[in-house]
Amino acid sequence: MEAPKGKDINKNTQALLEMARALGASSELDDLLAMVVGYSMELLGAERASLFLYDAEHEELYSRIAEGTSELRFSVKSGLAGTAARELKIINIPDAYQDERFNREVDKKTGYRTRNILSCPLTDYDGKLVGVLQVLNKKNGTFDESDIALAQALSAQAGVALQRAHLIEEYLEKLQLENSMRIAQEIQQCLLPKIAPPLAGFDIACWSRPCDATGGDYCDFLLLDEQQLMVSFGDVTGHGIGPALVSCATRAMLRALCKTKGKVKDIMNNVNFLMTADLPDNRFVTAFLGVLDSSRSEMVFCSAGQGPLLWLHGKENRVDVLGADGIPVGIIADFEYQEPKVAKMEPGDVFVLLTDGFYEWERQDGELFGADRAVEVIREKRACPASEILDAVRKAVENFSDTPQGDDLTAIVVKRVE
């Protein structure tokens, strides 16, 4: 085999240095892929080249750029590229059609005739597989030892450059996701009330803290007139951006339908029908809808899977633990909810709504906070303003637990005053 001449060595060295500078100057992954493909064809005197990135999770190679072909994806266990990836060594095939590992289907689809192939694994700084560069059809003959030496140098530069680009791309995606989550959090927090509208004869407090940046809990108030206040409250399965979107949609539907001043039962039936059409099978909403009437000193309410509801009778210091009236919203479209219940509230009565993040907060020993502890706190603090009762329940669950918050927490306390 004829050794490369001095001029060729200098030319190749210069080209490699130029490539190294170019790869180092760019951090865009697609630009780097195009550069590697272009330089490999130029340095190795080839007709075509393809660069396959390695998907470690699925053990596949895939192309984001391939000179002369469309995008491909295949198992790392097959083909010449797969062999180079598994063995982490360059494979030189002088006659592609004489090698059983060569996949002839690509040539059939494209009409291109592959004569010879140089498959080069690309590794990162730690020697882990990043991808495979395949160079096709040496313009003058077949690939020789000097081509393999050039390919090794090219692959080393390209692998580290691609690793850097991957890290930058992942970092930018993370920043974009964090920014999107921040915006979603800001929007959701703006929709959650900080205080309830004033209503004669009642002291009302609310509070919410999601488990993640966004959550699936919601609470809302809407003055229907001078004497009536809508109180809505609920919990979407799961927590995060998906449930947050569903909670916003549920809140909007309840607001829109309540402005029509329809009956509580009819509003709940309509919301359930609409949400069932939109929600996937693994999503549902436990929802409470009540109308607080200052002229009657009562709460008319319906609970779709939301419970337990805690109603303290101040004069007797007794707490009724109320269950739900029907199934959660979003499961059965034509489900008919029962006639609403009426809580005729006397002075000193307290009505408390807590999402299951309170009741189901679990200690390391497996014990749950439960409803009984919440009842004890409410009875103890019954003479306090609504905000202090709520704060006492929040502190109680935090003091009880020795584990991180695992679910969204939302609470509403309604107290009848003189």
pLDDT tens series, the chain, 418 aa: 444 554 555 656 566 656 666 665 555 667 777 878 888 888 888 898 888 888 888 899 888 654 445 557 888 888 888 899 999 999 999 998 888 888 787 788 878 898 999 999 988 877 888 889 889 999 988 998 888 888 888 887 777 777 777 777 777 777 777 676 677 667 767 777 888 899 999 999 999 988 876 678 889 999 999 999 999 998 988 767 778 888 888 888 998 998 887 899 999 999 999 999 988 888 899 999 999 999 999 999 999 999 899 999 999 999 999 999 899 999 999 999 999 999 999 999 999 999 999 999 999 999 999 999 999 999 999 999 999 999 999 999 999 999 999 888 999 999 999 7
In a domain, 184, yes or no: no
Where is the domain boundary, 141, 173, 205? 173
Interacting residues of 386 by C-beta distance below 8 A, sequence separation 6+: 203, 204, 205, 350, 413, 414, 415
Looking at the fold, whether 226 and 153 belong to one and the same domain comes out as no
Report the C-alpha gap between 339 and 303 in whole angstroms. Answer: 10
261 and 306 housed in the same domain: yes
How many domains, in total, are found in the chain? 2
Q: Do 126 and 208 sit in the same domain of this protein?
A: no
Answer whether residue 285 is part of any domain: yes
1 located within any domain: no
The Cα–Cα gap between 272 and 266 comes to 10
Residues 145, 241, single domain; the answer is no
Which CATH number fits the domain that encloses residue 25? Answer: 3.30.450.40
CA 41 from centroid of its chain's CA atoms: 41
Structural domain range at position 359 = 192-416
**Is 197 found in the same domain as 164?**
no
Same domain, 168 and 201: no
Helix axis angle for 29-44 and 145-191, nearest 10°, is 170
Residues 124, 202 share a domain = no
For residues 269 and 163, membership in a common domain is answered with: no
Residue 198 lies in a domain: yes
Q: Give CA–CA dist 176/169, Å, rounded.
A: 10
Domain check: are 220 and 286 in the same one? yes
Claim to verify: residue 291 and residue 210 sit in the same structural domain? yes
Q: Are residues 45 and 162 both part of a single domain?
A: yes
Q: Is residue 25 part of a domain?
A: yes
- How many other C-beta atoms lie within 10 A of the C-beta of residue 299? 24
Residue 180 maps to a domain: no
H/E segment holding residue 350: strand 350-354
Residue 351 lies in a domain: yes
Together in a domain, 110 and 201: no
CATH number at residue 299: 3.60.40.10
* pTM (two decimals): 0.64
- Angle CA 71–74–77, to nearest 5: 155
In a domain, 187, yes or no: no
- Asked if 289 and 257 touch (Cβ cutoff 8 Å), the reply is no
Angle between helices 386-400 and 370-380 (to 10 degrees): 140
